[in-house]
């Protein structure tokens, strides 16, 4: 008697081909092209050349993967492969990604689209892709060993499903995850609504990016994959400030920003000058009654958030993770706090032995923003970026939202620095500075047992909310 296994073997058809037949014969007819990207700069939105219409997203320091329409099916071809990614000018990393970059290209489809994704494995080990957040047949969910066999080195697998739910999603491997995600394998996925959706607004600008993190020793190129917490590069789409492009919008634009977190910690993402609402998660659009105004939203590990606001304040607004260590580039964590320590004597002695010795942080760390310390090759300064008024003293997960009246609709180019209208910028006080009252009080403090000083010291205390001078003290 012939067993099922013998039948397949005897038929001379590879197991993969039989499995794919259940998906579609067309799928195997010819592999679609796999476009590749060699730049880390933000590419303009990809207007859909066919299929249902939608307003395309802009991937920060990324791009959207073109597709081929094949008998009504949108066919994409992702190639998992080693890539070289510029993290910021002056530093390149040897990562793993898709189609030339890390993260891989954004995939944009429309609710109701039939989607077929060819995934070719050019890595040195097996992989899979999990389509995070999607409703799909269990065998398409991409967990290696659970839903499918891992894709062996050199092989191509086919995933096929209906994009059932509009929203903000991502994709990443579910095979040797610790290594493959630490190496930069991930990508964004947007399913646009079919027609008008009661909970999804039409917006003028729609940006997306992933939060990721790397541990790359200064002077080296490859991430340390065993790191769990102590990363030294906090990145948006595998870019660190000042390598992250600015988000350039027109005054009064309605702006959506979609963010997904594939790091090992949460990131409170903060926008200056505007309030926003969280209008969606990876579970879909949020009900209107659950929305409230925020200026910071915490994005936990594995979560996606989409925020929306009216860009009605002109200017260059900081947009960053609010964890202050996440807006810095590599630094030594073993550095003791030196604020308030007078190094002068010891520095004299050390420089007689080590002429290049440099004191760090005795007045704070702001010096680091303007320091031209020799760095090892292929590393970034800790705090960097120069604005119109000097060093910005930031790194990592930081960029700028630029709101301009003269930005043309659909123009994503950088308008340069904002020029504040006269009289609208913080300025230096030019009047006389009084001696602080407390200082006088201390110097006038009586010696133990001495008589009280005759002179009264007046202290004016302004209480918040009272609106006048709240009281007097000595
Ligand atoms: Cu953060």
387-443 tens-digit pLDDT: 999 888 888 999 999 999 999 999 999 999 999 999 999 999 999 888 776 655 555
pLDDT in tens, 327-357: 988 864 444 555 665 656 666 766 676 666 5
- State the Cα–Cα distance between residues 255 and 304, nearest whole angstrom: 17
CA of 323 to the centre of ligand 1 (A): 5
- What does the pLDDT read at residue 386? 86
Are the C-beta atoms of residues 248 and 414 closer than 8 Å to each other? yes
CA of 267 to the centre of ligand 1 (A): 4
pTM of the model: 0.80
CA of 167 to the centre of ligand 1 (A): 23
- What does the pLDDT read at residue 468? 38
Cα Rg of the chain (Å, integer): 28
Are the C-beta atoms of residues 107 and 93 closer than 8 Å to each other? no
Least confident of 43-52, 66-75, 460-469: 460-469
Least confident of 68-82, 225-239, 361-375, 429-443: 361-375
Least confident of 15-24, 26-35, 281-290, 363-372: 15-24
CA of 305 to the centre of ligand 1 (A): 14
- What does the pLDDT read at residue 17? 40
- What does the pLDDT read at residue 356? 60
Given a cut of 70, whether residue 286 has pLDDT beyond it is: yes
For 411, residues 6+ apart whose C-beta sits below 8 A from its C-beta are 248, 250
Of all residues in the chain, the percent with pLDDT exceeding 90 is 68
Given a cut of 60, whether residue 279 has pLDDT beyond it is: yes
Given a cut of 70, whether residue 119 has pLDDT beyond it is: yes
Q: Characterise 441 by phi-psi region: left (phi > 0), alpha (psi -120 to 50), beta (else).
A: alpha
Cβ contacts of 133-141, under 8 Å, gap ≥ 24: 133/167, 133/168, 133/169, 133/170, 133/189, 133/282, 133/283, 133/304, 134/161, 134/163, 134/164, 134/165, 134/169, 134/189, 135/164, 135/165, 136/161, 136/162, 136/164, 137/161
- State the Cα–Cα distance between residues 290 and 277, nearest whole angstrom: 10
CA of 39 to the centre of ligand 1 (A): 25
CA of 36 to the centre of ligand 1 (A): 29
């Amino acid at each position: 008697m012939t067993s099922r296994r013998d039948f397949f073997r005897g038929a001379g058809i590879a197991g993969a081909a039989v499995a794919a037949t259940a998906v579609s014969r067309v799928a195997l007819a010819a592999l679609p092209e796999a476009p590749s990207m060699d730049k880390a700069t933000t590419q303009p939105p990809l207007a859909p050349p066919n299929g249902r219409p939608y307003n395309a997203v802009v991937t920060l320091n990324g791009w959207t993967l073109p597709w081929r329409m094949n008998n009504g099916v949108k066919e994409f071809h992702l190639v998992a492969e080693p890539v070289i990614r510029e993290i910021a000018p002056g530093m390149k990393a040897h990562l793993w990604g898709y189609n030339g970059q890390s993260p891989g290209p954004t995939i944009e489809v429309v609710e109701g689209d039939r989607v077929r994704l060819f995934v070719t494995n050019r890595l040195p080990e097996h992989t899979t892709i999990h389509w995070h957040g999607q409703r799909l047949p269990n065998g398409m969910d991409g967990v290696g060993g659970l839903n499918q066999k891992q894709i062996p080195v050199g092989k191509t697998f086919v995933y096929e499903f209906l994009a059932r739910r509009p929203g903000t999603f991502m994709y990443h491997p579910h095979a040797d995850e610790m290594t493959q995600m630490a190496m930069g394998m991930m990508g964004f996925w947007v399913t646009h609504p079919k027609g008008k959706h009661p909970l999804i607004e039409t917006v003028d600008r729609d940006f997306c990016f992933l939060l990721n993190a790397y541990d790359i020793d200064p002077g080296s190129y490859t991430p340390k994959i065993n790191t769990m917490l102590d990363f030294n590069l906090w990145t948006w789409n595998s870019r660190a400030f000042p390598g992250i492009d600015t988000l350039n919008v027109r005054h009064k634009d309605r702006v959506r920003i979609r963010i997904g977190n594939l790091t090992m910690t949460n990131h409170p993402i903060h926008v200056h000058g505007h309030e926003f609402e969280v209008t969606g998660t990876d579970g879909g659009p949020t009900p209107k009654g659950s929305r409230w105004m925020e200026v910071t939203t915490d994005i936990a590990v594995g979560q996606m958030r989409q925020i929306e606001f009216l860009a009605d304040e002109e200017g260059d607004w900081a947009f960053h993770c609010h964890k202050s260590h996440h807006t810095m580039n590599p630094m030594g964590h073993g550095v003791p706090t030196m604020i308030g320590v007078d190094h002068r004597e010891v520095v004299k002695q050390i420089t007689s032995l080590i002429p290049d010795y440099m004191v760090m942080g005795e007045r704070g760390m702001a010096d680091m923003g303007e320091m031209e310390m020799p760095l090892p090759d292929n590393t970034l300064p800790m705090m960097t970026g120069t604005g119109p008024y000097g060093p910005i003293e930031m790194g990592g997960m930081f960029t700028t939202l630029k709101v301009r009246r003269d930005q043309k609709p659909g123009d994503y180019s950088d308008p340069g620095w904002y020029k504040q209208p006269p009289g609208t910028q913080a300025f230096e006080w030019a009047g006389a500075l009084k001696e602080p009252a407390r200082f006088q009080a201390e110097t006038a403090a009586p010696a133990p047992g001495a008589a009280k000083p005759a002179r009264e010291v007046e202290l004016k205390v302004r209480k918040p909310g009272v609106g006048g001078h709240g009281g007097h003290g000595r």
